[in-house]
A and B are shown apart, each in its own frame.
Chain A
Amino acid sequence: MMALDEAARRRLIETVARTIIDHSDELTSLDQAIGDGDHGANMKRGFAAVLADVDALSAKSLPEALKALGTQLVMKVGGASGPLFGTLFMALGKNLPDAPDRQAVAAALDQAITAVKARGKADVGQKTMLDVLLPVRDAIAGELDIRSVADRAVAAAEATIPMKATRGRASFLGDRSIGHMDPGARSSALIVGAIAAALGTTS
């Protein structure tokens, strides 16, 4: 159902990387409110490395490209979001077939969520990226159209605003973390939105 040729893989990778880079100031200000303020710069560093490598990445099959992209994030981000987002992409690559259908994407995302939970020793409801990834998985499994999946991701990131952080640097703030959107949740929603935009232009 979703066999992406090299041009489509390039568009997918570039759209995700550029979206994160373009929003790095916003991600940094979210992280300044409840964290150490480095999320935007860290993600930008990671995705700049991905962009620099886009020729090699898009020449690979979709699963191999995702694994290599995840490894770039692990090595280059310079904060905990490197292993967390890196693990997300590496686990997706490990579990996706070359031409996945919708249920294969949902199943791979489910495996990736399990891997991210283990990496971060975290679960849903702790004001993290997981609070976006789970609703996204459910939306994909529930056969929502791709724009609605992206909308669901944006809403899920906004739903982290009233949550109290119990994992990560924001948890040091306790109740003071309430009232701010989680930067990792926002990044996740941006990535999902970028994927939807890139795939939306192919179909």
Chain B
Amino acid sequence: MSNVGIVIVSHSPLVAEGTADMVRQMVGDEVPLAFCGGNGDGGLGTSVEDILSAIDKAWSEAGVAVLVDLGGAETNSEMAVEMLPEERANRVVVCNAPIVEGAVIAATEASGGASLDMVKRTAEELSPG
């Protein structure tokens, strides 16, 4: 599949899963999708290890857009991107967008075959400023 993949990273596994459900309802299986949430011990938080696996699972040659909730999810996602092999790292972007609305609109855009840059820009139009 050559559509851009979507990764959802929330502090809460339930928010991550619920957001992924909403994405699936909109785009079905047309977009590679993965999600993760929680600190690895069952508590709230985000794990670089889990983010790396999610990126791998949602991998697309067209790239992967990552949607995050609070600051730690963003910091951990940026760290994960830097730990990827170089040829993958430059095809993964962390979007500055609200996680639920951002994931749904990014996936909708991706399902029409949009480029990674276009997917990111569409999601980020939801952010103020």
Interface residues of A (CB under 8 A from B): 36, 38, 41-42, 45, 74-76, 78-80, 82-84, 86-87, 119-120, 168-169
Contact = CB atoms under 8 A, between A and B. Distances in A.
27 contacts: A38-B43, A38-B45, A41-B41, A41-B43, A42-B45, A45-B41, A74-B48, A74-B79, A75-B48, A76-B40, A78-B38, A78-B39, A78-B40, A78-B46, A78-B47, A79-B72, A79-B76, A80-B71, A80-B76, A82-B79, A84-B75, A87-B79, A119-B75, A119-B79, A120-B75, A169-B71, A169-B72
A83 B71 contact: no
A83 B39 contact: no
B78 interface: yes
Contacts of A42: 39, 45
Contacts of B47: 75, 78
Interface string B18-58: 00000000000000000000111101111111000000000
B15 to A, nearest CB: 14
A127 to B, nearest CB: 14
Contacts of A78: 38-41, 43, 45-47
Given A41-B43, A45-B41, 7 more contacts: A38-B43, A42-B45, A78-B39, A82-B48, A83-B48, A84-B75, A120-B75
Interface of B: 38-41, 43-49, 70-72, 75-76, 78-79, 83
Contacts of B38: 78
Nearest to A121: B75
Q: Which of B41, B47, B78, B83 has the most CB of A within 10 A?
A: B47
Nearest to A73: B48
A41 B23 CA distance: 32
A119 B78 contact: yes
A151 B75 CA distance: 30
B70 to A, nearest CB: 7
Nearest to A169: B71
B40 A83 contact: no
A87 B78 CA distance: 12
B78 A80 contact: no
B79 A79 contact: no
A168 B78 CA distance: 15
A151 B72 CA distance: 30
Pairs A-B, 7 closest by C-beta atoms: A78-B39, A80-B72, A83-B79, A78-B45, A80-B75, A79-B45, A79-B72
B129 to A, nearest CB: 15
A41 B70 CA distance: 19
A169 to B, nearest CB: 7
Contacts of A82: 48, 76, 79
Contacts of B76: 79-80, 82-83
Nearest to B79: A83
A42 B72 CA distance: 12
A28 to B, nearest CB: 12
Nearest to B11: A36
Nearest to B47: A78
A46 B99 CA distance: 27
